Amino acid sequence: MSLLEVKDLGIAFGGLRAVGNFHINIEPNDLIGLIGPNGAGKTTIFNLLTGVYLPTEGEIILTNENIVGKAPYQIVQKGIARTFQNIRLFKELSVIDNVKIAFHHKMNYPILSGIFRFPSYWKEEKQIDKKARQLLDLFQMEHLANTTAKNLPYGQQRKLEIARALATDPKLLLLDEPAAGMNPQETKELMETIHFIRHQFNIAILLIEHDMNLVMGICEKIVVVDYGMIIAAGTPDEIKTNPKVIGAYLGE
Amino acid sequence: MKQSIQYLINIFSIIILYILLFFLIQTGILSSYYSGILILIGINIILATSLNLATGFLGQLALGHAGFMAIGAYASAIFTMHFNVSSTIGFIVSLLLGGIISGIFGIIIGIPALRLKGDYLAIITLGFGEIIRIIITNLELTGGAKGLTGITRLTNFHITFWITVVVVTLLYTFVHSRHGRAVLAIRENEIAAEAVGVPTTYYKIFAFALAAFFAGVGGGLYAHHIRTLMPTTFRFIYSVEILVIVVLGGMGSFTGSILAAIVLTILPEALRDLADYRMLIYSIALILMMIFRPEGFLGTRELSLSKLFLNHKVKKEGGKTQ
């Protein structure tokens, strides 16, 4: 059974059909790359999958349930987490608070219990503090727990955003250009991090990336879109030699 | 362990402050004029900290706080007048009632208003604040434009002091729970908050309604202190005055709001001798503040008594060993 099954997904903004006939099958623990020229509709596809945009057609089935029409926060609770192309951290908050916020829907104590600090407040807060620190430790960031997020170096901010997405306990992680703005050394570390996440957390990853070394290096399957339509799909070697892909990137 | 020491220090300081003020009032060193100012300070602290929840912590610029205060003031005053309340418990019930009605209006207004952001939200909340005032002006129940007179004097220093303590404590513990973190996340980045599973609409409306609830409680205290309610008191300029306290103290700092409420309540009174010049000085003080310290007294930091004490102790001990 597929983890995620997308059929005939499409969205039109007025007369502009940004995405059409998009389909993909993601199995648990897949690592798939989504590539295409600028403006091809890759981030729009992410926004459709995470509920930011309501598709005008098609179905998104996550483990046998159609999630079309659900709010973004509900889709997160069902198991799809994402990062953003331009980093969106809670900048003025500490690193650990960034992670703790992502545990929000896993916590249960009600508002009154929080205000009057009943035992459930202390118990859950203690648990979450431990869990958040463990997660940061996996990313070698535990020592930065009390640093304000905006003061982290760029590469660490990217890493924190991934850690925060993982805190929501996803089955599928969507990474939107994780290597954007990174130098070759940082990109190399990122590739290792992605490998590590996939095995440590046993999740599927779908990533948008322009860095071909990264995409070809780690993805088992690649989907290429242009003008909102899939023009090719297959293994990295098939994609490299596909004339349509070369045409889309370099012109005929 | 450390947490309980902090609690002890805070509780102890509050009790000391209470005893001190109680003693000064009892012996007549602080005249009734001064205890009146103390009550106003308490009311302004309640209004400013509650507005800070909506503006500083949730990050939504709201300009209708005086409207919510008016709802609470009229509701609790009508309640005590109708039932001839003279006991403290009855008064507290009336304050809660005022708060709840104000909170309900907070929800009703929040649902459409919080779809907007920034200056648009400011304008729409300003509009709602004015609508509330105009409705009050035209209702018979509220005494219309003549105002509501003959309210029993039920607010005193003691009740104001303890209600202020309770309000600030509840706001503080709310912000430091998982729900408060969700509210902060919305301020920092709404899209990211939604993307990590925070139901943003729910928390925006909840925080807004909670702010309205406490504004209503503050209004109830105000009504039973001044004893005459005029719709013109709750004009939008009053909302702006509360906002000035919040901005001056630091958006996102409760202790900042407390400090600023104290300073901005005393300053106009202290400058009373200068008559015509006092509003000028007040305004210049604000302008200078915004130029040299735009983040307010404390920014988003909180002043911590326990840190003050504990750091001092550490320094002392450090000195001994050397």
Which residue did the predictor score with more confidence, A73 or B290?
A73
Predicted local distance difference test score (pLDDT) of residue B82: 93
Contacts with A168 from chain B: Cβ below 8 Å:
196-197
Reported ipTM: the value is 0.91
Predicted local distance difference test score (pLDDT) of residue B296: 86
Predicted local distance difference test score (pLDDT) of residue B312: 59
Predicted local distance difference test score (pLDDT) of residue A53: 94
Mean pLDDT for B73-102 is: 95
A109 CB within 8 Å of a chain B CB: yes
What CATH class does A4-250 carry? alpha beta
From the list B173, B185, B194, the residue facing A72 with the nearest CB is B194
Mean pLDDT for B205-226 is: 97
For chain B, domains (ranges, CATH) are 35-321 (1.10.3470)
Report CB contact under 8 Å: A73, B174. Answer: no
Contacts with A104 from chain B: Cβ below 8 Å:
178, 181-182, 196-198
Predicted local distance difference test score (pLDDT) of residue A55: 95
A150 CB within 8 Å of a chain B CB: no
Q: Distance from A235 to chain B by nearest Cα, in Å?
A: 30
**In the predicted structure, residue B318 carries a pLDDT above the cut 80:** no
Q: Distance from B302 to chain A by nearest Cα, in Å?
A: 14
Nearest residue of B to residue A163 by CA position?
B196
Report CB contact under 8 Å: B196, A101. Answer: yes
Report CB contact under 8 Å: B195, A81. Answer: yes
Predicted local distance difference test score (pLDDT) of residue B1: 55
Predicted local distance difference test score (pLDDT) of residue B29: 86
**In the predicted structure, residue B54 carries a pLDDT above the cut 50:** yes
Nearest residue of B to residue A84 by CA position?
B192
Q: Distance from B250 to chain A by nearest Cα, in Å?
A: 14
Q: Which residues of chain A have pLDDT under 50?
A: none
Predicted local distance difference test score (pLDDT) of residue B319: 39
Check if the beta carbon of residue B205 is closer than 8 Å to that of residue B123: no
Which residue did the predictor score with more confidence, A1 or B242?
B242
Predicted local distance difference test score (pLDDT) of residue B321: 35
Which residue did the predictor score with more confidence, B308 or B220?
B220
Q: Distance from B165 to chain A by nearest Cα, in Å?
A: 14
**In the predicted structure, residue B52 carries a pLDDT above the cut 70:** yes
Nearest residue of A to residue B194 by CA position?
A73
Predicted local distance difference test score (pLDDT) of residue A121: 94
Predicted local distance difference test score (pLDDT) of residue A213: 87
